[in-house]
Structure 1
């Protein structure tokens, strides 16, 4: 077994307007969380199979764009359309021109997508469950069922989810959870964003079913929990062209490393480097592999709290020390 399967219920068609000299430059790409994860997985040399639903005019346009990404695309013909957006970046910021969410998937489409994902996963080492573009696209319970069945067959399950989908996946248990502090705040799992509160939330997520937890914090060092140890991940601060897609690149880097037998700390280094390099580019989920590997060597991982000497501390003590920093 090798490679990674990415569950992408409904990819996006992205249309971005940029400047090219004095003329507008219009870019069409496949996008969305799972696509950006897949793109970085391919960049890092992983064999990737994407399982998705493609329908409508947007789906017809997406198909060749996805196949050009260097991954294997397995898809269900959808009766509705995929989502899409038009963003204007001619002023160096993203201005939303128009956005259209994907249509909800029909029951038979959900069944086909589920069976397709399960079948493809039996030939892979790991599966990333990514979220759809739109709350109504797919029922949250699909994530619980998929996570349970994938773990029952011995697959490593990585999720980058929030809200009801995260709660559903945790019911079945996951091997790695990647989430941002903003998402935890929006879900009500955080009422404040200080380090102590985040550490407490990480332990709660572990108790709910996540074996390992990674929380990204925008420009602040990410935090990770594994086997009762909390670590802080620090990367060189690079100049950002676009911060979108950094978290998805982080997830991809961690997953690639773990499928190759790396330690969790080494996986965190590769993930953090992939996310850091991604922000220097306009292409989401992209990066130069040589740059990523060089930045990886500069990533620092330190136990939390920093004076930690090997004695395992309780979640309450970790939180208390973090609040007093």
Structure 2
């Protein structure tokens, strides 16, 4: 039994071409949101089971790559086209050469995958629901049903989703929702860039089914809203080599902390440190554990408002004003 189960419906085979003094340097890995999360979780000491559909010859290669990294793979195997991409990064930026989301997951395969994810998730007690690259890979309602059934069975559910999948998971109910402010604006769930507008949107998400909400804001401090109130969390700012995957590393660090027995407010500081380190690297979901722990010492948490310990905490005009400016904030190290 693993510490964390990740619902990663359609992992991808990734091929990246790098520049090298001796010629092109070609890297082949398993990838996709759930895999990047799993990679960071394992580095932070949490064991992981990946629940997925593996398709065709690409799926066979992906299984070998995942198992060689030390993950437990609980998969449905089928024929067809698997998700994959080839990126050329020799010029410093990612240039897509070829990309495919692969074939959609059929009804019978989805039923089997659902049963596997439910079994493994209830065994581990902590589940991260991640999304596929393709919008048409599986119905969004899968996330509603799976979140509801997992929580009914006593498992904690963390989601890092957007769009229809986010709304579906909220309807089922989740323990922690992680999302970016950009994704909220794209989904018309956030109107404006001001911190108070973000907190108001987070309160609405809690009212719709999230126990706690974490919102990342690019280079700005991230925000956490739970039943205890609102917290601003500031990771160290490091020079970025590649910002892709930073949010997944944050989610992974949060899950790893929860799996290891930390409170959510402690776990999110581990996630913030993992996300901060990931931007300095070209590999997604990577980073040395000792460095992450050192960076965690530099993460600062500041309490912005106090909740009532029940449902959505009330955010007074004074609370919102404290967030918008630095006047008389309540300082607290939440690590």
TM-score band by shorter chain is over 0.9
Q: Aligned runs of 1:14-33 on 2, under 5 Å?
A: 14-33=14-33
Does structure 2 retain, via aligned residues, the 8 Å contact 1:34–1:131? yes
SS of alignment partner, residue 201 of structure 1 = helix
2:132 maps to 1:132: yes
> What is the aligned residue count?
321
Q: Aligned runs of 1:1-325 on 2, under 5 Å?
A: 3-304=3-304, 314-315=314-315, 317=317, 318-319=319-320, 322=323
Does structure 2 retain, via aligned residues, the 8 Å contact 1:80–1:105? no
CA-CA distance at 1:39 after TM superposition: 0.4
Of stretches 228-237 and 31-40 in structure 1, the one that deviates more from structure 2 is 228-237
Name the CA distance, whole Å, in 2 between partners of 1:155 and 1:5.
Answer: 10
CA-CA distance at 1:322 after TM superposition: 4.3
1:162-197 per-residue CA deviation (whole Å, 9 max, x = no partner) reads: 111111111111001010111111111112222111
1:264-284 per-residue CA deviation (whole Å, 9 max, x = no partner) reads: 221111000111111111110
CA-CA distance at 1:220 after TM superposition: 1.1
CA-CA distance at 1:125 after TM superposition: 2.6
Name the CA distance, whole Å, in 2 between partners of 1:252 and 1:323.
Answer: 29
Name the CA distance, whole Å, in 1 between partners of 2:175 and 2:47.
Answer: 20
SS of alignment partner, residue 185 of structure 1 = helix
SS of alignment partner, residue 123 of structure 1 = helix
Name the CA distance, whole Å, in 2 between partners of 1:44 and 1:177.
Answer: 20
Does structure 1 retain, via aligned residues, the 8 Å contact 2:174–2:209? yes
Give me the CA root mean square deviation: 1.7
CA-CA distance at 1:156 after TM superposition: 0.7
The TM-score, its normalising length taken from structure 1, stands at 0.94
Name the CA distance, whole Å, in 1 between partners of 2:221 and 2:307.
Answer: 22
Name the CA distance, whole Å, in 2 between partners of 1:127 and 1:185.
Answer: 26
Gaps of 5+ in 1: none
SS of alignment partner, residue 122 of structure 1 = helix
Does structure 1 retain, via aligned residues, the 8 Å contact 2:56–2:78? yes
Gaps of 5+ in 2: 327-335
Name the CA distance, whole Å, in 1 between partners of 2:315 and 2:26.
Answer: 50
Of stretches 294-303 and 259-268 in structure 1, the one that deviates more from structure 2 is 259-268
Of stretches 57-66 and 181-190 in structure 1, the one that deviates more from structure 2 is 57-66
Name the CA distance, whole Å, in 1 between partners of 2:320 and 2:189.
Answer: 15
The TM-score, its normalising length taken from structure 2, stands at 0.92
